[in-house]
Amino acid sequence: MSKQFNSLSLPEAWRGPAVKPSLVDLKQFRDHPHRFLLELAREHGDIFWYGAGPIRFVFGARPEHVHHVLVEGQQHYSKRTFQYGFLKEVTGDGLLTSDGTLWRERRRIQQPAFRKKRLDLVSDSTRRATARMLDAWANRDQPELDVASEMFELSLDVVMDVLFGYTIGDEAADVVGATLGVLHHLIRRSRSIPGIPSWLTPRRHAEYAQSLAVLDGVIARILQRRRTSGGRAGDEPETLLDLLVEAEGEQRITPEGVRNEMMTMIIAGHETVASALTWAWHLLGTAPDDVAALRNEADAAKDSAAGLEILSSLTYARNVISEALRLYPPAWIVTRRSEGATTNTPSWLPRGTLVMLSPFVTQRLEAYWPDPDVFNPRRFEAPVANGTWFPFGAGQRLCIGKDFALVEAAIILSDVSRRFTLRPTSDPVREYSGVTLQPEGGLPMTIALR
């Protein structure tokens, strides 16, 4: 059911049909929002206004919408949305959830930890962590394992080591479980009746509180160790932790701010990478030619390559990860609230409008991607048009960990395929769009030494 939403006060690019959903639609929206939005975009066009009860938003799937909200008009769009409101319950005000002065100051403090030369640490750490995981695989009795859990623990290992100089070891499974527990709780709340406080469901609230306590516990231990060790020695490289603790000493950030930033990095820095890699293994599971190309490249690659250099020496691995990020972008939805244009700017979306963009949808529209549902890493051999591929966002809020993630993922794909073959099991794979896009219940696969 739709009629035109053509108010003349709207800029041309934002005029489109108004979609009024039925009850069946609402259920689909709750259960599989990423697929539902894709269907709506394929049916109603790449711009539409959606309204049902409290859920009202405009959805823009064209590159020009992406560019407008995230780049050209970015200062007029805030993160004051339900998505970031829920996330704030866990991360507090931090780099991912805040706007304006607080965001700018936090980015200034942390940016040096993501500079290009720091990527050498990412490549070293990823190689070591991957080798440990593969040695454990080689000693397994059972060939079947859950690739999703393996990727979670591996990416957690790397992020903890690189950003905090912390070896996660045996705690990894608990921290991964706690992260998933916390995020799952937020999603459940965001999809239940609005306004119900979480303490009204006491059992779930207790599980959530316990998961949060596990994450806060590990953060407290990292900080405690850093404070008693007295900081880095003169020639050791600066970790993100060093930068945060130094900024705290200079009173540029409060102790609570330090906790919030560490929580943000733990959550944003491993769930996402693990999701991308898990989907890549799923896609490769039925693509033997791509596995062969990946393996040839891995066999020929020099292990001495480090940092960003990796991305030019492992181009096939990079293309595989880019294509996995196209088909299954971990951050499948990006929301903003229009704060209204100032007098100096053209009239854009009315103040208070909730705007939704979705890499999952834009990256699967035929207009920009021929055979959009087909896995084909070779698409990325040519440059892609602006705004048609944005799994890391765009503009000043572009993911701070983009290069970190790409280097890490390319090494993992290459090092794993050099030693092991991963095959799908007969279990069906269902998609779960939580805070990130994951295979529901994990991804069982069988592994065999090459």
Q: Which residues bind ligand HEM (CB under 6 A)?
A: 95-96, 107, 159, 264-265, 268-269, 272-273, 276, 330-331, 334, 391-393, 397, 399-401, 404-405
Nearer to ligand HEM, 161 or 415 (CB): 161
Name the residue among 134, 201, 208 with its Cα closest to residue 414: 134
Nearer to ligand HEM, 60 or 391 (CB): 391
Cβ–Cβ under 8 Å, residues 448 and 423: yes
How many angstroms separate the CA atoms of 356 and 333, rounded?
A: 7
Give the count of beta carbons closer than 10 Å to the beta carbon of residue 52. Answer: 14
CB of 299 to ligand HEM, least distance (A): 25
CB of 405 to ligand HEM, least distance (A): 4
Nearer to ligand HEM, 21 or 270 (CB): 270
Nearer to ligand HEM, 5 or 103 (CB): 103
How many angstroms separate the CA atoms of 152 and 271, rounded?
A: 6
To the nearest 10°, report the CA torsion of 232, 238, 242, 247.
130
Cβ-closest residue to ligand HEM?
401
Nearer to ligand HEM, 361 or 399 (CB): 399
Q: Quote the crossing angle between the two packed helices 172-190 and 82-91, to the nearest 10°.
A: 150
Nearer to ligand HEM, 19 or 273 (CB): 273
How many angstroms separate the CA atoms of 359 and 331, rounded?
A: 8
Nearer to ligand HEM, 133 or 333 (CB): 333
Q: Are strands 47-52 and 16-19 parallel, antiparallel or unpaired?
A: parallel
CB of 331 to ligand HEM, least distance (A): 4
Rama region for 160: left / alpha / beta (φ>0; ψ in -120 to 50; rest): alpha
CB of 55 to ligand HEM, least distance (A): 19
Name the residue among 210, 206, 248 with its Cα closest to residue 226: 248
Nearer to ligand HEM, 395 or 424 (CB): 395
20: phi then psi, degrees, rounded to nearest 5: -110, 110
Cβ–Cβ under 8 Å, residues 118 and 158: no
Residue 221 CB contacts under 8 Å (≥ 6 apart), including other chains? none
Cβ–Cβ under 8 Å, residues 330 and 303: no
Residue 13 carries which side chain, given as an amino acid letter?
Answer: A
CB of 301 to ligand HEM, least distance (A): 21
CB of 90 to ligand HEM, least distance (A): 13
State the residue for tokens 């529209």: 365
Structure tokens at 333: 């939805």
DSSP letter string, 323-375: HHHHHS-SS--EEEEE----TTS---SPTT-EEEE-HHHHTT-TTTSSSTTS-
Q: Which helix H or strand E contains 423, and what residues bound it?
A: strand 420-424
CB of 80 to ligand HEM, least distance (A): 12
CB of 83 to ligand HEM, least distance (A): 8
CB of 339 to ligand HEM, least distance (A): 15
Nearer to ligand HEM, 10 or 355 (CB): 355
Nearer to ligand HEM, 5 or 332 (CB): 332
How many angstroms separate the CA atoms of 15 and 6, rounded?
A: 5
CB of 272 to ligand HEM, least distance (A): 3
